[in-house]
Amino acid sequence: MTIIDRIQNTSYGPTARNYDGLILLGYAAFAVLALAAVYFAAAGPGVAGGDLVVADVMP
- pLDDT tens for the chain, 59 residues: list them: 556 656 655 555 556 678 899 999 999 999 999 888 877 877 777 878 787 778 777 76
Choose among 49, 53, 10, 56: nearest CA to 34. Answer: 56
Q: What is residue 38's predicted lDDT score, i.e. its pLDDT?
A: 79
Do 7 and 21 form a contact (C-beta atoms < 8 A)?
no
| Alpha-carbon span 3 to 52, nearest angstrom | 60
43 sits in which H/E element: none
Domain ranges of the chain: 19-59
